[in-house]
Amino acid sequence: MTRWQSDPILTVEHLTMRFGGLVAVDDLSFTVGRGDITAIIGPNGAGKTTVFNCITGFYKPTEGRIAIALDKADPPTMDRLTASGARLSADRNILLLDRMPDFEIARDAKVARTFQNIRLFGGMTVLENLFVAQHNKLMVASNYTIGGIFGLASYRKGQAAALERAKYWLEHIDLIERADDPAADLPYGDQRRLEIARAMCTEPRLLCLDEPAAGLNPRESAQLNKLLRFIRDEHGISVLLIEHDMGVVMEISDHIVVLDYGEKISDGAADAVRNDPKVIAAYLGVEDEEVDAVEQEVMQ
C-alpha cells in the first residue's frame, strides 16, 4: 500500500468550492501521504490554486472536509469530530482545517505556504526574512510582554535558536554568503529557495508550494529539486505542490493528483499518471469523445 493510502497526513474529502455559478472545485477527494512529495497538476483554470486556498484557509470551502492527522489518521475519530462541530479531536490527533481561520491553520496545524508570486520582504536582508518568520515562536518565548523581550532567559534562548535555524537553512540553500544583502537583490531562483527556507523556519508539518519552479532556468530547477528532496528525506516533511513544470513534477513527486475543470481525472504515482490517456487528453485539449482515440494511440 502507498503512503497516501496507509498514512495520509492530509485528507481532502468531497471538497467543492463555488464562486457564484462557477464550480471551481467539484467534489474533489484525495490524500497526501506523510513524508511524500505530492503534486497537484492540471491545465490553467483547473482549480489547483483554489484547492490550496481552501487547505490554507484563504477560502472557506462551500462543501467538504479537510483534515490534518498529526499521527495516523483514524476515520471513525474523524467522523466523530465532524459530527461534534469541534475542530480538534479529543485525542488531539486530528484537526479540521475547513473549520479553522487561516492564522490558526498556519500556527496550530502548522501548514506553511508559498505563493505563485514571490512575497519576500525585499527591503529586509536575507537573514531578516528568515528571522521574522519565527516571530510567533519568539513572542511565545517572551511571554508576550516587553519585559519578557528584555529580561526573560527563555526569550534569549529562543532568539539564539531562531538564529541557528536561520543559519542552518541559509547553509542548505547556499545563501549564507548573502545573509546581509537585501532579499530583493538576489537572483530570482535564489529568492524562490529563500521563500521555501523561510517557510521551513516555521517548522511546518505540511509545506504547500504554489508553482515553485515557475520562471526558473534548468540549473535553478535542479537546485529546487535538490532542496525539496532534502526537505522530504532529511526532515520527513510532507510537501504538497502545484506545478506546471512537468520535468520537476515527474522527477520528484511520489504522488500526483491531476485536476481538470475542478474535477480529479487521475491520481497515482508518476508513471501511472504520465501514461494516463485522460491526463494526456486534458493537456492536449481534446474533447471527451476523443479520449478513446488518444488512449489507442498511447497504447500502441
Ligand X SMILES: Nc1ncnc2c1ncn2[C@@H]1O[C@H](COP(=O)(O)OP(=O)(O)OP(=O)(O)O)[C@@H](O)[C@H]1O
Output 116 or 136, the one with its CB closest to ligand X: 116
Q: How far is the CB of 210 from ligand X (least distance, A)?
A: 8
Exposed, middle or buried by CB within 10 Å (0-12, 13-18, 19+), for 289? Answer: exposed
Per CB under 6 A, 285 contacts ligand X? no
Span interacting with ligand X, options 17-25, 160-168, 188-196, 265-273, rule CB under 6 A? 17-25
Give 182's DSSP letter. B
Q: How far is the CB of 208 from ligand X (least distance, A)?
A: 13
Q: Kind of pairing, strands 238-242 and 37-41?
A: parallel
Site size for ligand X, by CB under 6 A? 11
CA separation, residue 223 to residues 61, 125, 196, 248 (Å): 35, 21, 12, 11
Output 224 or 258, the one with its CB closest to ligand X: 258
Q: How far is the CB of 266 from ligand X (least distance, A)?
A: 15
Residues 29-88 within binding reach of ligand X (CB under 6 A): 42, 44-50
Q: How far is the CB of 170 from ligand X (least distance, A)?
A: 30
Least Cα distance to 253 among 24, 41, 10, 62 occurs for 41
Q: How far is the CB of 41 from ligand X (least distance, A)?
A: 9
Output 19 or 150, the one with its CB closest to ligand X: 19
User: What 3-state DSSP class applies to 237?
Assistant: coil
Among residues 9, 10, 24, 105, the one that binds ligand X under rule CB under 6 A? 24
Least Cα distance to 277 among 268, 263, 266 occurs for 266
Question: What percent of the residues of the chain are helix, what percent strand, and what percent coil, each to the nearest 5?
Answer: 45, 25, 30
Task: Give every strand in the sheet of 8-19, ordered side by side.
Answer: 22-33, 8-19, 63-69, 94-96
14 neighbors 64 (Cβ within 8 angstroms): yes
Output 118 or 139, the one with its CB closest to ligand X: 118
Output 22 or 146, the one with its CB closest to ligand X: 22
Q: How far is the CB of 159 from ligand X (least distance, A)?
A: 38
Q: How far is the CB of 19 from ligand X (least distance, A)?
A: 3
Output 78 or 280, the one with its CB closest to ligand X: 280
Residue in the block written with cell 500526483:
256
Output 24 or 68, the one with its CB closest to ligand X: 24
Per CB under 6 A, 273 contacts ligand X? no
**Residue 12: which residues within 8 A CB-CB, separation 6 or more?**
28, 29, 30, 31, 51, 55, 64, 65, 66
Least Cα distance to 222 among 193, 196, 242 occurs for 193
Output 9 or 46, the one with its CB closest to ligand X: 46
Per CB under 6 A, 19 contacts ligand X? yes
CA distance 180 to 131: 12
Among residues 22, 146, 153, 299, the one that binds ligand X under rule CB under 6 A? 22
What residues line the site for ligand X (CB under 6 A)? 19, 22, 24, 42, 44-50
